[in-house]
Amino acid sequence: MKTILLTGACGSIGNSIIKFFYKRYKLICLDKDKKKLSNLKKKYKKIIPMSCNLTKQVEVLNVLNKIKKRKIAIDILINNAGKIYNEPIVKIGKFGFKCHNYKSWINIINTNLNSTFLFSSNVIEYLCNTRQESLIINISSISALGNKGQSAYSASKSAVETLTKVWAKELSNFKIRVACISPGFFDTESTSKSLNKNHIDNLISNTPSKRMGKKDELINAINFVINNKFFNGKILNLDGGLVL
């Protein structure tokens, strides 16, 4: 049975990925929330849960050392971990205009971009040393095209898409395929937390499909990328036709 290494396992999308692939693959599930990981293990007894803050190099290397010691071959890495964040480049404050908070910028870049680079680069090193034919799937966002009020989030996801293209070119000789899925607005907990109802209604009205995406549709896209070995170095846009 092949192995999927999944980050952001405890989020709503992560749970959906686990549910779909549970009987098809061995699953190594990463998340920094130990309590949620414990609950996940109770629900899906055969998964291998590993606690890891992907922005911390020590924790990343520790997780990979555990995988190496268990001699687990990584067939698929799904970089699902990430955080949605909204903040305009400038806003009106109590004492006039105020620019985007720099600490928030650093936090989102670390969470969405630096963690993807840090974890993936170390996994890639492992894959190259073991000569493992494999696949890396990065999860981006329609915001990578540049979404109003999301400087940090848009920048982080745009960079992830660029990494996808670079890595696909660099790793082809090692039989490592790299692809990316860029979802539009989906009916998930993270979307409802980050956007108010008026904003969501406005997005739906501007989407040709006239609705938000369903989690099953995103999972089907992941399954398509896994099974279509000619899909490489590209971004699969799954947005209902929405143009930002």
Strands 96-99 and 90-93: antiparallel
More confident residue, 34 or 93: 34
Specify whether the CB–CB gap between 29 and 47 falls below 8 A.
Answer: yes
Identify the CATH number of the domain in which residue 222 sits.
3.40.50.720
Q: Which two tokens stand for residue 155?
A: 């920048």
What value does the mean pLDDT take over residues 137-159? 97
Q: Would 55 be classed as within a structural domain?
A: yes
Q: Is residue 96 part of a domain?
A: yes
> Which residues partner with 6 through β-bridges?
29, 78
The pTM score is 0.96
| Residue 244 maps to a domain | no
* Domain assignment present for 56: yes
Tell me how many domains the chain contains. 1
Contact 146, 154 (CB under 8 A): yes
- Residue 58: inside a domain, yes or no? yes
Collapsing DSSP states into helix, strand and coil, what is residue 77? strand
C-alpha radius of gyration, the chain, whole number: 18
The DSSP secondary structure of 12-36, one letter per residue, reads: HHHHHHHHHHTTTSEEEEEES-HHH
Strands 176-183, 134-139: pairing is: parallel
pLDDT, tens digit, 9 for 90 and up, residues 182-236: 999 999 888 888 888 888 999 999 999 999 999 999 999 999 999 999 999 999 9
Q: Is residue 243 situated within a structural domain?
A: no
For 90, the token pair is 């400038």
Apex CA 201: angle with CA 144 and CA 155, to 5°?
15
Count other Cβ atoms within 10 Å, centred on residue 226.
21
Determine the structural domain holding residue 168 and report its residue range: 3-238
The pLDDT, as a whole number, for residue 191 is 86
161 within some domain: yes
